[in-house]
Amino acid sequence: MRAFYARAFEDPLIGFIFTDVAKLDLEAHVPRITSFWETILLGVGTYSGGAFGPHAQVHAKVELREAHFERWLQIWFGTVDDMFEGERANVAKVHALRVARAFHQRLQNFSSPADGVSAPVPLTITQHDPSD
């Protein structure tokens, strides 16, 4: 979990969502999210509660777009692939894909952020010949 969040926090597309919008306290979050994944992957049943609610709260502050979920999946898949292999690793990726799609779909029914906060617009850097 820590390897994934290290990558996610530094990511230029979604990092600000974790650090500036959600202001995620990693030390408090890691045990909870670990419990979620242990329940999914190992069937230990230690996770209780709803995972969607916190995402809806973030979405109320900044619109969570399809590109955000896609990037989250890219980082998740990359982290899983770097650290694990086998059937459980595949289940982790398949379940993440299902969750991302379901969350994005459900969030489409929510209104856009009211406070005007939005994702930074990526800039395209071009070089022009000064003699033109």
CATH number of the domain at 40, please: 1.10.490.10
- Residue 132 within a domain: no
Q: Are 110 and 59 in contact (CB under 8 A)?
A: yes
Tokens coding 49: 């509660």
Q: What is the pLDDT of residues 72-121, one digit of tens each?
A: 999 999 999 999 999 999 999 999 999 999 999 999 988 655 445 444 43
Q: pTM of the entire structure?
A: 0.81
- Residue 112 within a domain: no
- Residue 29 within a domain: yes
pLDDT at 36: 92
- Residue 79 within a domain: yes
- Residue 130 within a domain: no
Q: What is the pLDDT of residues 9-68, one digit of tens each?
A: 999 999 999 999 999 999 999 999 999 999 989 998 889 888 899 999 999 999 999 999
pLDDT at 28: 94
- Residue 96 within a domain: yes
* Dist. CA 19–CA 2, nearest whole Å: 14
**Is the sign of the CA dihedral 38, 100, 58, 54 positive or negative?**
negative
- Residue 113 within a domain: no
> Domain of 23?
2-107
Q: Are 68 and 119 in contact (CB under 8 A)?
A: yes
- Residue 114 within a domain: no
The total number of structural domains that make up the chain:
1
* Dist. CA 35–CA 109, nearest whole Å: 28
* Dist. CA 15–CA 21, nearest whole Å: 9
Q: Are 100 and 71 in contact (CB under 8 A)?
A: no
Tokens coding 67: 């590109």
